[in-house]
Structure 1
Amino acid sequence: MKSIFDKVKLGDLSLNSRIMRTGLWESQQNDSYSIYDRYDKIASSGVGLISSELFSIYPKDKFIEHSSRMHNPNFMKMAMKISEICHDYDVPILGQVEFIKYNWGIDLDIPVNDLTIEDIRKIQSDIISSAQMLKYAGFDGIQ
């Protein structure tokens, strides 16, 4: 009989269990744990895969107060440490890349139908750049 604690494959990833820890708005927590303590606790819990908290790709995004900011100069150092912690427990980690509104100058409330082809290509490019940053930081994929 299969168990949630069985080792499984997800594409090229080897998971220690069938349990996936999904991303949250963790940066808004006001607890005594540091972000590194949280990921150490999660990775050591028997989880098979972790999806990180929200990583915002635009500096003026609607949920920036509740996200880790990818444009922050310290982001790469933090991301590398998080992936290292997870990999110390042989747990793959996905970066949850997000934006709520396209960062089009100062206007952040653009209706979807008003986006141009160039806007859409810029969004695609920004997501690809974010994925490359996370790959460099040691993440196993993006969500």
Structure 2
Amino acid sequence: MKTLFDKTKLLNMEMKNRFIRGALWEDLADEKGHMTPELFNIYEELAKGGVGTIITGYAFVTEDEQPNPGMMGIYDDSFIPEYKEFTDKIHSLGSNIIMQIVYGGFMTNFNVGERTIWGPSTIQNETTGTWAKEITKEEIKYLVEAYAKAIARVKASGFDGVEIHGGHGYLLSQFLSPYYNKREDEYGGSIENRGRIIFEIFEAMKEVVDNNLGAARTKVVVSKDRESYFKDYAIKLANMVDIPIILIGKNRHLDVMEDLLETNMYTLK
């Protein structure tokens, strides 16, 4: 019988339990993306509270592309010493720590007039009203290299893994969407082409870290039948792949989580 408190593994990363804190933007880093005492304390309290594995809020990979204020940064080597102190502390409390990294694109209203914002095509975001400039192939190469350098810093900083943000209308999900991606080159058209930039980032990541790193809008929950609201997607996905699946999205009650884990133990690793 599986329980939420089982020790388990994600690739080579030992996990003391199945509890994972999903990535959330805290809006507590300084204006350059560096840690503050308030931000440090949030993660320290999570580790002290027994969360086995913590994923940070997203960190921006190029200095001139920060989609929201108060985000963590990972765009140059100045972050490594403070993040090493940070990861050492989290590890000393018995938890794993993974960093999420991102390029935002036009899902932003932050400092829009002061920077160039890339998108798969020149198009306006209907939610933010922000326009994106079509990224050139040379700029794609630069961005892939920026991700690779960021991932190298993640490793040097002592994180246990890295998560590449690919959802919620940010740049990589824009490439996947035929609505936003109108390109006619090798980065547009078929799903294989629209996903090409993601696979290039992944391959660059593998070259940097030698496969030594691991992983992977709020809704108000008022009753048990409304929590774990991504579970159906997670179960379908788990039936399609042979790797561990992480379920986020208002997992509140232990009995609900235990039941989900036990009744779907043939799919949820």
TM-score range normalised by the length of the shorter chain: 0.7 to 0.9
**Is 1:70 the counterpart of 2:71 in the alignment?**
no
Cα displacement (A) at 1:73: 7.2
Distance in 2 (CA, whole Å) between partners of 1:38 and 1:122 is 33
Structure 1 pair 62–131 and aligned structure 2 pair: CA distance change class (3 A)? closer
Return the letter of the residue paired with 2:116: L
Return the letter of the residue paired with 1:122: Y
1:11 matched residue in structure 2:
11
Map 1:110-129 onto structure 2 (within 5 A): 110-113=118-121, 114-129=134-149
Structure 1 pair 82–127 and aligned structure 2 pair: CA distance change class (3 A)? same
Q: Counterpart of 1:95 in 2: which secondary structure? A: strand
Query: How big is each residue's C-alpha offset from its partner over 1:22-62, in whole Å with a ceiling of 9 and x where there is no partner?
Result: 11111348xxx622221111112221211112211122324
TM-score (norm 1): 0.82
Q: Counterpart of 2:58 in 1: which secondary structure? A: strand
Distance in 1 (CA, whole Å) between partners of 2:46 and 2:82 is 16
User: Percent of counterpart pairs with the same letter?
Assistant: 22
CA RMSD of aligned residues (A): 2.3
Structure 1 pair 58–5 and aligned structure 2 pair: CA distance change class (3 A)? same
Distance in 2 (CA, whole Å) between partners of 1:78 and 1:27 is 18
Conservation of the 8 A alpha-carbon contact between 1:57 and 1:97? yes
Cα displacement (A) at 1:130: 0.4
Structure 1 pair 35–66 and aligned structure 2 pair: CA distance change class (3 A)? closer
TM-score (norm 2): 0.46
Return the letter of the residue paired with 1:44: K
Conservation of the 8 A alpha-carbon contact between 1:57 and 1:98? yes
Query: Would you identify which runs of 4 or more consecutive aligned residues in structure 1 move more than 6 Å?
Result: none
Conservation of the 8 A alpha-carbon contact between 2:55 and 2:100? yes
Larger radius of gyration: 2
Note the residue ranges of structure 1 that are not aligned, 5 or more in a row. none
RCO higher in 1 or 2 (8 Å CA, sep ≥ 6)?
1
Distance in 2 (CA, whole Å) between partners of 1:74 and 1:120 is 24
Conservation of the 8 A alpha-carbon contact between 1:83 and 1:137? yes
